[in-house]
Amino acid sequence: MKRSIAWDDQVDVILSDESSSSSDANDDGSGSNQSNSNFTIDQPPEEKSSEETVIRRAQMYQNYMKQIPIPTLRGSVIPFNSWTGLSKSIKKLYGQPLHYLTNILLIQWDKMRIGGEDEDRPLDTIFHPCKAEANIWLIEEVHRGTTSHHHLAKLWLSDPMPHAFIDPIFPRL
């Protein structure tokens, strides 16, 4: 793989929207084009702009998730031992992601079983697989259709690793 720019080549970075005419006005004829601002590259980004970025991403995510139709025909009965195991099977079978909030909820349901008397019992012996799958799709419909992108952004900002619970989205072409 060839690089378009070698690492040793100098690259000019423009840090402001000032036009060249304003910099010409400040030119004292010495040939020096130094900036008046003391800007360093490693300054942390502003808090507000990162929040705005997360809100924008949450809005794009939510809008995309609203467009994905909930499957109406069930392919087959899916055996499962845990809620997250069922969700992985559903994602594979139907080829679509589940909402961030659905993934979080299913993880919480699995955690609720820890220490219970039925902890080691496969879930498909407790709940009929068709009912469990239908339950996930009903919850998914609520999350896709009614979740506020502001609420999502708030959760993502408070979660140190929100991307761990966001399924990759591969649009069908």
Tens of pLDDT, residue by residue over 26-62, are: 444 445 445 444 544 554 545 555 889 999 999 999 9
In sequence order, the 6+-apart residues with CB closer than 8 A to the CB of 93 are 75, 76, 78
Whole-number average pLDDT of the chain: 77
Q: Report if residue 111 sits inside a domain.
A: yes
Q: Report if residue 36 sits inside a domain.
A: no
170 — pLDDT class (breaks 50, 70, 90) = low
Number of domains the chain contains: 1
Calpha distance 138→127 (Å, rounded): 16
Calpha distance 33→39 (Å, rounded): 15
Tens of pLDDT, residue by residue over 147-157, are 999 999 999 99
Q: Report if residue 110 sits inside a domain.
A: yes
Q: Report if residue 20 sits inside a domain.
A: no
Q: Report if residue 78 sits inside a domain.
A: yes
Mean pLDDT confidence for 132-161: 93
State the pLDDT at residue 5.
43
- Which CATH number does the domain housing residue 92 bear? 1.20.120.690
Instruction: Please check the confidence at residue 100 and state whether its pLDDT lies above 90.
Output: yes
State the pLDDT at residue 110.
94
Q: Which domain holds residue 110?
A: 47-165
The sign of the CA dihedral 89, 90, 93, 99 is negative
In sequence order, the 6+-apart residues with CB closer than 8 A to the CB of 157 are 51, 54
What pTM was estimated for this model as a whole? 0.68
